[in-house]
Structure 1
Amino acid sequence: MASPFLIFLAGTVAYALFRLSRVGRRPKGCPPGPPTLPILGNLHQIPKKNAHVQFKKWADEYGPIYSLILGTIVTIRSGIYSSRPEAYISSRASDGCRMVLMEYGNQWRRIRKFFHAFLQLKAIKAYVPCLELESTSVMADLLDKPQLIFHHIRRYTNSVSTQLVYEFRTPRIDDPKLLLMYDTMEKFGDVTGAGAAALLDVFPVLRYLPPGIRPLYNHALSIRKASLDLAGDLWFEAKRKVREGTAKPCFCVGLADAQAKEDVDDMGLAMTASTGLEAASDTTACILSGFIQAMVIYRDAQKKAQKAVDRVCGDRFPTMADMDNPEAQYIRACVKEILRWMPTATLGVPHAVIRADEYMGYRIPKGASVVLSIWGIHKDEKRYKNPRAFDPSRYMDDTTTSSESALGPDPTKRDHFGFGAGHRICEGMHVVDRTLFLFISRPVWAFDLSPAKDADGNDIIPNQDDLIGNFLRQPRPFPLGVKPRSESRAAAVRQAWKDAQELLDQDQQWKETPEGMPFTL
């Protein structure tokens, strides 16, 4: 007769084998999707590169809502969807402090409140002097060193961000803090998108391996240290200026004021500020790189944009005030179209279901990851005519800003989903609208952007499907021609930058804070 222990052991093994046999299967009632394999589910079918293209194909085959089974995780692509699924390696690489990865809860809501106050529309209007200064600076950079256009774009978006968050400019493309931030972000994106990171999420048992052989664990910790060191240095320097009374208006001043009223630790605030810097710098740079590519590939769109800005400005340098001119509609349409045509977060950021739900007759299990396949939506032939083409004319009758459209109650009428959706929609959309308007209007006013030539004099047309990056995608840098449309416009750019420098000191920082900048939250 078998002992009770052996019976218990046999039962335990049988139960474990039964549970293991269920891993990789599509739960009953879930949305349809590609056939699965035991244990793996659909994990083996996820491409290592350009996964957004495959996800679009599955949407065409299985419908607007379908499921992927990734080991132990149910992923549904398409208030209770506002959390985030646990991303083990990403969380270790950021100490769980990057807002974009936080679970829905009190900490996320508190940080969201900070950003909402900082980025609300009435505050954004006060940031216009910074946007105009930096876009003037990048125009001058393009005159002097046009071959470094993608480096100028990164400096431009980073300098806008450092001013709004920390109150200092980034005047050079080789600024050490700029290079360190982009290097850290690139490494974070690489480790987040690595296949081994996904394994630790879909098979959580692997997390119990010894740290020395746990996939990517030590690498994630090294990225975490670099991220926290940079964020801490920037925060404590900003906080020192607040304490000494020398700080200029910026987000960190508001955070320091909030810390004096609430119990918020320094590193939490340091990473909150760093989140704003990274998001505004990296995503906007990716979008602007996409616009440059669109102008080179779609020359007719460039000519239409030039005609539109010429009607508004003539030989005058464009300004933010031109955004409200009805004649600038094509430029505003370019803003919408580049956000649709080149979405940087092609697959969005996964949401997590905090309780079981039903949608379109399908069962959505608690804990499932819900992914808004932004690339697939933006390339949907049923939603957009000729969606692969960069065609701003599709928005000529749409006079809403992209941020107004994103906040509208009817998602079927949204112009694009580049800002995400739901409670976690991007708070910086008002800044993005204005940053893009200035950057789009000024280069097309001042320059002709053309393909580079090969040895035989033929145009080198960049491949719009050749994207780089993991979490954020952007065109692979490519050679191009940047030529002033006339000497008078080149002179206007030089004069605008000369006038702007009167506002800066010898270190290329603001002598005085632009009037109207908000000081606290």
Structure 2
Amino acid sequence: MAFLTFLFVISLICVLTLWKRFTSSRRHRVPNGLKELPGPKGYPIIGVVPDVPEKNSFIKFAEWAKEYGPIYQCNLAGHNHVWISSDQIARDLLAKKGAIYSDRPHIPALISDNRTSSQYLPLLSKNDGWTRQRKFATVIMRESEKNLFYRYPELEAKRMLVELMNEPTCYNHALESFISRVTCRLAWGHSEASDELKQRARELLIGVSPTGALGNKLPFLMALPDWLVPAKAWERRRAATERKFFETMQGEVEADMKEKKAPQSWMKMFLDNRSKWGFKYELEGAYAVGMHGIAGALTIAAPMQSFCLAMCHYPQYLPMLHEELDRVCGDRLPRAEDRPNLPFLRAIIRECLRWRPPVPTGIPHYLIQDDEWNGYHIPKGSTMHPLEWAIARDPAVYPDPETFNPLRYVEPGWPTYQEPLTQFPTIRNITQFGYGRRVCQGQEVADEDLLIGIASIAWLFNIERIPETTPSSEPAVVADPEKVEDLGIGMNKKASISNEELNAGIQSKDGKPTLEDVLISKYEYPGTYPNPKEQKNDTLQPQSRHDSGHSLSSEKPSKSAKADASKEKIDPTLDFTTLLIAKPLPFKFNLTVRDEKRATQVREWFGEGVARGEYTSSREFWGENQGAGKPLGWGKV
């Protein structure tokens, strides 16, 4: 039986391959008078797939742009992909010709067709579902911005700072939790579902990433039965869990509204005028809200982690940021009204997004009919990539592009300098948020979260790189040992409520493991370090070569490998995850409080918020062990 199944699969692959080659050759015929786009030729059937490293593939695509020009094409496993490394060309095609360039490519690994399901606005093709959800998104984002996002970022910044003081080794958790909690409050009015939202985001990110779910690498598998393809069964469970989560969250807001105690949220806006939006299926409103929650849960945290990375390797800019924050904010935390007076902070945020873009390959568009550009033929059905890594490195716009330099936005003479400095620099409407009709509608949320989040961290902390001579057994982030006792690893002793009550509002390593602890200890996903439990006695050995195509390895390198590595130039700032959303892998740095008085004040502010019931712990949704072995729950990622 197994042998027959194997023969069937092989036969199916052969038939699909031949059919794809036949239809592709007909579809890609170049009309008379036009030229074929240049690009690497690759191999029969699989194209350039063997030449593209899984790690930092965007660098390879950018290298090809230097060889073949600002727009080129390549075959990736039978599909034509067009890569654009020029902002002007991207605008000419993706924005000015948005009528034919605004669709999205099919994502094979998703159970429901992303183009038509009306589940994920960023992934929808240009259809009725896209139109009505886009109108809804416009309203909820506009109303949120008008109300300064209900001060949710400023509220959660205090909890984030306390978590960083208590457990600096968990900086990734603190930054991602800050974003997830703010997004949860915006979506549903409460923060208790933040860990669950992060998991929903992680699993969906696996499903939509070309290097994530197996169904995206081998699409034919999605046509086979679930029992034969565990990856398909995993996706079906993910989709069902996500649906139930969105339904549950909508139900809870409905209950809060009946009791007239619902905080402001996007879901409340939807329910206040449920019939206004014209949604076509029962849970479309729940998905319209939940999708915006997922979109912000992890993506906005990536630039915050890049900020820490940049400050380690370009320390000359942190004192300049400290000076601006001290002058404008003094001994209070940064707030939304400070924006016009913080141009250097905005420059640092802008440069973080340019230097290490969270989506370096760009969100792809899909061409629905043949087109031409400058005498070149662009065939219908091409997947179009605005290659953000290359666009953000145009030397005419960004001199010395590989260097992190926020001064390029605030000193006259740079191509990127703009006035007035009360408005510029800004991240709003930059290329990283997309082109034309597919511009991200949540960019105002990202802008506010990054402004408050990064400003709060710099207001309280020093960030310093650990010398390379530091033993590899030290933790990823090290607090100043002389100040540990002063920081108060418990909570502020002067608080009027108990330490136990304070700890109820944050994630703690003491006692019962939290949801995040479970994830970190039991799960791993593409692009992360290997599970520490599988490392035995070997230390983690991250790779960070520009042209590296190798996955991270838990094997201890040989002496010859170490010698070879020592001869090569290694960029320690290029250890990034391999999924569609790229974020820095864990790295080592010192995180120390700048001012003990400020640290004490933050703890008091947080304690007062806990006493008012503003901070609550995350909750579980699926029972014991996150629903392992049950129809709904966390999937191994």
TM-score, scaled to structure 2: 0.68
CA contact (8 A) 1:161 1:280 kept: yes
1:113-132 alignment runs, 5 A limit: 113-120=135-142, 123-132=145-154
Aligned to 1:151: 173
- Looking at structure 2, the residues matched to 237 and 441 of structure 1 have their Cα atoms a distance apart, in angstroms, of 33
Letter in 2 for 1:77: W
Aligned to 1:140: 162
Aligned to 1:282: 298
User: Among 366, 369, 376, which residue is 1:352 paired with?
Assistant: 366
Aligned to 1:87: 107
**Pairwise CA distance, 1:499:** 4.9
- Looking at structure 2, the residues matched to 491 and 420 of structure 1 have their Cα atoms a distance apart, in angstroms, of 42
Aligned to 1:470: 579
Answer yes or no: is 1:43 the counterpart of 2:49: yes
CA contact (8 A) 2:577 2:584 kept: yes
- Looking at structure 1, the residues matched to 153 and 18 of structure 2 have their Cα atoms a distance apart, in angstroms, of 60
1:312/1:73 CA distance change after superposition, 3 Å = same
CA contact (8 A) 1:91 1:101 kept: no
**Pairwise CA distance, 1:382:** 3.7
Aligned to 2:382: 368
- Looking at structure 1, the residues matched to 44 and 610 of structure 2 have their Cα atoms a distance apart, in angstroms, of 65
1:378/1:142 CA distance change after superposition, 3 Å = same
1:365/1:257 CA distance change after superposition, 3 Å = farther
Aligned to 2:333: 317
| 1:179-201 superposed Cα distances (whole Å, 9 cap, x missing partner) | 33323332332343337433455
Aligned to 1:59: 65
**Pairwise CA distance, 1:372:** 1.0
Aligned to 1:292: 308
**Pairwise CA distance, 1:394:** 0.8
**Pairwise CA distance, 1:314:** 3.4
Aligned to 1:197: 215
Answer yes or no: is 1:485 the counterpart of 2:503: no
1:320-335 alignment runs, 5 A limit: 320-325=336-341, 328-335=342-349
CA contact (8 A) 2:349 2:450 kept: yes
CA contact (8 A) 1:23 1:41 kept: no
**Pairwise CA distance, 1:498:** 4.3
Moved more, 55-64 or 458-467: 458-467
Letter in 2 for 1:41: G
Letter in 2 for 1:112: R
Count the aligned residue pairs.
476
Aligned to 1:271: 287
- Looking at structure 2, the residues matched to 18 and 502 of structure 1 have their Cα atoms a distance apart, in angstroms, of 66
Moved more, 281-290 or 24-33: 24-33
Moved more, 364-373 or 238-247: 238-247
CA contact (8 A) 1:36 1:69 kept: yes
| More helix, by proportion | 1
Aligned to 2:538: none
1:108/1:453 CA distance change after superposition, 3 Å = same
Percent of residue pairs identical: 25
Letter in 2 for 1:114: F
The secondary structure found in structure 2 opposite 1:216 is: helix
- Looking at structure 2, the residues matched to 127 and 190 of structure 1 have their Cα atoms a distance apart, in angstroms, of 29
Answer yes or no: is 1:236 the counterpart of 2:242: no
**Pairwise CA distance, 1:404:** 7.2
Letter in 1 for 2:212: A
**Pairwise CA distance, 1:455:** 6.9
CA contact (8 A) 1:191 1:220 kept: yes
The secondary structure found in structure 2 opposite 1:190 is: helix
Answer yes or no: is 1:435 the counterpart of 2:441: no
User: Among 458, 466, 483, which residue is 1:444 paired with?
Assistant: 458
**Pairwise CA distance, 1:457:** 7.6
- Looking at structure 2, the residues matched to 67 and 292 of structure 1 have their Cα atoms a distance apart, in angstroms, of 36
- Looking at structure 2, the residues matched to 475 and 429 of structure 1 have their Cα atoms a distance apart, in angstroms, of 21
- Looking at structure 2, the residues matched to 329 and 344 of structure 1 have their Cα atoms a distance apart, in angstroms, of 22
- Looking at structure 2, the residues matched to 266 and 19 of structure 1 have their Cα atoms a distance apart, in angstroms, of 37
Aligned to 1:12: none
Moved more, 268-277 or 254-263: 254-263
1:353/1:185 CA distance change after superposition, 3 Å = same
Letter in 2 for 1:242: M
**Pairwise CA distance, 1:389:** 2.0
CA contact (8 A) 2:434 2:440 kept: yes
User: Among 196, 199, 203, which residue is 1:187 paired with?
Assistant: 203
User: Among 491, 494, 498, which residue is 2:603 paired with?
Assistant: 494
- Looking at structure 2, the residues matched to 508 and 92 of structure 1 have their Cα atoms a distance apart, in angstroms, of 33
CA contact (8 A) 1:24 1:69 kept: no
Letter in 2 for 1:40: I
CA contact (8 A) 1:24 1:71 kept: no
| 1:441-487 superposed Cα distances (whole Å, 9 cap, x missing partner) | 22212111112467758999992100114021100122322111122
| 1:159-205 superposed Cα distances (whole Å, 9 cap, x missing partner) | 111111100124xxxxxx4333323332332343337433455xxx6
- Looking at structure 2, the residues matched to 206 and 335 of structure 1 have their Cα atoms a distance apart, in angstroms, of 41
Answer yes or no: is 1:388 the counterpart of 2:402: yes
Aligned to 1:304: 320
Aligned to 1:517: none
- Looking at structure 1, the residues matched to 294 and 255 of structure 2 have their Cα atoms a distance apart, in angstroms, of 22
Letter in 1 for 2:102: S
Letter in 1 for 2:215: A
CA contact (8 A) 1:134 1:159 kept: yes
Aligned to 1:504: 613
1:206-285 alignment runs, 5 A limit: 208-213=223-228, 216-261=231-276, 262-285=278-301
TM-score, scaled to structure 1: 0.82
**Pairwise CA distance, 1:49:** 2.1
1:184/1:164 CA distance change after superposition, 3 Å = closer
Letter in 2 for 1:120: R
1:109/1:18 CA distance change after superposition, 3 Å = closer
**Pairwise CA distance, 1:434:** 1.9
Moved more, 155-164 or 316-325: 316-325
**Pairwise CA distance, 1:99:** 1.7
CA contact (8 A) 2:334 2:455 kept: yes
Aligned to 1:20: 21
CA contact (8 A) 1:24 1:72 kept: no
**Pairwise CA distance, 1:437:** 1.4
**Pairwise CA distance, 1:87:** 1.1
1:139/1:355 CA distance change after superposition, 3 Å = same
CA contact (8 A) 1:166 1:250 kept: yes
CA contact (8 A) 1:289 1:475 kept: yes
The secondary structure found in structure 1 opposite 2:81 is: strand
| 1:64-116 superposed Cα distances (whole Å, 9 cap, x missing partner) | 11111224422111122111011121354976612221111110111111111
CA contact (8 A) 2:118 2:284 kept: no
User: Among 440, 461, 486, which residue is 1:426 paired with?
Assistant: 440
- Looking at structure 2, the residues matched to 507 and 213 of structure 1 have their Cα atoms a distance apart, in angstroms, of 43
| 1:188-239 superposed Cα distances (whole Å, 9 cap, x missing partner) | 32343337433455xxx66544454458322221221222222222122223
Answer yes or no: is 1:111 the counterpart of 2:133: yes
Aligned to 1:75: 81
- Looking at structure 2, the residues matched to 246 and 285 of structure 1 have their Cα atoms a distance apart, in angstroms, of 30
1:333/1:454 CA distance change after superposition, 3 Å = closer
**Pairwise CA distance, 1:491:** 2.8
- Looking at structure 1, the residues matched to 354 and 126 of structure 2 have their Cα atoms a distance apart, in angstroms, of 27
Unmatched runs of 5 consecutive residues or more in structure 2: 1-16, 85-97, 411-416, 478-570, 619-637
- Looking at structure 2, the residues matched to 503 and 447 of structure 1 have their Cα atoms a distance apart, in angstroms, of 27
Aligned to 2:8: none
Aligned to 1:8: none
- Looking at structure 1, the residues matched to 213 and 290 of structure 2 have their Cα atoms a distance apart, in angstroms, of 26
**Pairwise CA distance, 1:273:** 1.5
1:405/1:31 CA distance change after superposition, 3 Å = farther
| 1:401-432 superposed Cα distances (whole Å, 9 cap, x missing partner) | 566752xxxxxxxxx42211111111111122
1:403/1:258 CA distance change after superposition, 3 Å = farther
